[in-house]
Structure 1
């Protein structure tokens, strides 16, 4: 896998930063081997992954990525260090344009007890209000998700010699990745 850490900016303006980045790198990004994990608003609250998102044109998060998130939450069980659950978001994150371009994508965020990011768009939304435990939970959840993507999907994406008539391993893996619920 190649790893890109993209600090897009412009998310609040229709994800224009992510749209521009995807446009600029469209020839480099292979839909067979690219996975987008969007991390946004993780400074307070408990971990949530999006099962779908979008204000007007809602898009489902990628089925297999959602299943990996569900596995992590299930394995977390009684320990509850992540306290992660799914959420359907009516907002567009940077994962939304990635899904629109058919990349496997999911968003990871944190929400407070009322189901939204505490202090969002408020004068109180300052670095001093960041919750260290929320940041640790989100980072741990994302690290676990990346490990599972690498361990469960990655091996199938390794280059392989295809026998006559057999699709390459990457194409077979993408067939699994690209299926929607």
Structure 2
């Protein structure tokens, strides 16, 4: 566990572009995609079929939101397939701010009824551009436990994805969740 404010970033990484989405239903998951502003401008320009953007306007933000919406839809489809949970996706919300403020908004939405959050950061790196996109997944520990408990432990057909170690098969994650919840 670490304080978001204690994360040190290079000066060109302090101001980030982000898209926030959440899934609610059988579980609650906050998803926050963050990317350096210079890379977000390049993505928006490409999607808008222009050579360059000086700033991200409403159309640029909409283009970036749509990319995040597609990625999150795929993530929640896989989650539903792997757990059987129904999760409804929110509309994307574009923000431009400092990383700790962006993460703080999502964390505040998941920490009830406990005063803790499970945060996972998945870094996606463009092979030729080197652009880094972070997919920050935030849940309260109770919802994280629910996901682990409902993971399908084996594929029943060739079309299903293989099972990965979770829940009782992943003692390190269980121990971390137990520490967060104050269980012995």
TM-score, normalization by structure 1:
0.30
Q: Which has the higher contact order (CA 8 A, sep 6+)?
A: 1
TM-score, normalization by structure 2:
0.29
